[in-house]
Structure 1
Amino acid sequence: MNKISMAAAAMIAGLTLATGAAAQDGGPGAAVTIELNAVKSGDAACTLTFLVTNGHPARIDKAVYETVLFDGAGQVDRLTLFDFGTLPAGRPRVRQFSVAGVTCDGLSRVLINGAHTCTAPGLADTACEAGLTLKTRTDIEVIG
């Protein structure tokens, strides 16, 4: 192997190690995305449907988010926990939560207040919160 080939091989090996370490630590681009995809009013309840994707290189075994629901006047209606369960790496999952005593028309905003529980062996302790991306496809605002 000539000097140029050896230098190129060393550089590629270094980049591979650095990229692997960044991915393991939840590096750039590695985050959880939560999208409020749909809402449906039912028998004195609102069903919130979320599309959630774990962008990390490893599975999250348990993700529970403290969630605050705001009424149409912008006042806190309730604080609750939404258990998104196991989130495989790089794969979307749909989760539904039925909230009794509220209609979807009565909600103006959903605040993801933070991760109550985040069990993710092999990832940083902040894997469920660092870089968290929030979206909505509804008239209800989602913030965090």
Structure 2
Amino acid sequence: MTQSPRIPSALALVTTLFCAPALAATPPEGGLEVELNKLEQRADACVTYLVFGNRTAVDLTSLQLELVLFDDQGLIQQRLALEAAPLAAGKTSVKLFEVADTRCEQIGRILVNGIGACSSAEGTLTDCLQRIEPSSRLSTKLFK
């Protein structure tokens, strides 16, 4: 008895239908550079200048960073959630974030503690925290 030639085609169709959404949600290739570039005091707030280098081939429609600020003694000052998107694929962008009720000289280190959201037009992306490449041009360290 011979097998029908349509079975492999049907199997391929089912595999394509069920695997295609998973492919859309795969992580982008390349890194997400995040550089702490400048801290600027404004009244009772510290303005943080972050330079983002989206070295992926995917436009990010959401990139929510969970940051934890430590003082120079290593004590936690506060926790922030910052939305950095939109971030165009292959583009460098500068984003400013105001940290209220904080003196810049009180910030010793900034931890990228997690990712609250990471997505493109195709849907939610995984593995974004692993792709973050933190750096700093200041004595204040940005790390994960």
Settle same-fold status: TM greater than 0.5: yes
What does residue 59 of structure 2 align with?
A: 59
What does residue 42 of structure 2 align with?
A: 42
State how far apart, in whole Å, the 1-side matches of 2:45 and 2:124 are.
36
How many equivalent residue pairs? Answer: 120
State how far apart, in whole Å, the 2-side matches of 1:89 and 1:124 are.
16
AA of the residue aligned to 2:117: T
- Confirm or deny that 1:26 pairs with 2:28: yes
The runs of at least 4 aligned residues of structure 1 exceeding 3 Å deviation read 121-124
Cα deviation code 1:19-57 (max 9, x no counterpart): xx9xx8534xx0111000111112011110000011111
Query: Is the strand fraction higher in 1 or 2?
Result: 1
- CA 1:54/1:127 → structure 2, altered by over 3 Å: closer, same or farther? farther
SS at match of 2:131: coil
Larger radius of gyration: 2
SS at match of 2:105: helix
What does residue 100 of structure 1 align with?
A: 100
State how far apart, in whole Å, the 2-side matches of 1:100 and 1:68 are.
14
What does residue 112 of structure 2 align with?
A: 112
Q: Is the 8 A contact 1:26 1:124 kept in 2?
A: no
Cα deviation code 1:2-34 (max 9, x no counterpart): xxxxxxxxxxxxxxxxxxx9xx8534xx01110
Deviation at 1:128, TM superposition (A): 2.5
- CA 1:115/1:25 → structure 2, altered by over 3 Å: closer, same or farther? closer
Deviation at 1:113, TM superposition (A): 0.7
What residue ranges of structure 1 are gaps of 5+ in the alignment?
1-20
TM-score, length-normalised on structure 2? 0.76
Q: Is the 8 A contact 1:66 1:115 kept in 2?
A: yes
State how far apart, in whole Å, the 2-side matches of 1:114 and 1:25 are.
16
State how far apart, in whole Å, the 1-side matches of 2:41 and 2:104 are.
5
State how far apart, in whole Å, the 2-side matches of 1:139 and 1:25 are.
32
SS at match of 2:86: strand
State how far apart, in whole Å, the 2-side matches of 1:98 and 1:124 are.
27
State how far apart, in whole Å, the 1-side matches of 2:32 and 2:78 are.
24
AA of the residue aligned to 1:88: A
What does residue 15 of structure 2 align with?
A: none
- CA 1:136/1:84 → structure 2, altered by over 3 Å: closer, same or farther? same
Deviation at 1:129, TM superposition (A): 1.8
TM-score, length-normalised on structure 1? 0.76
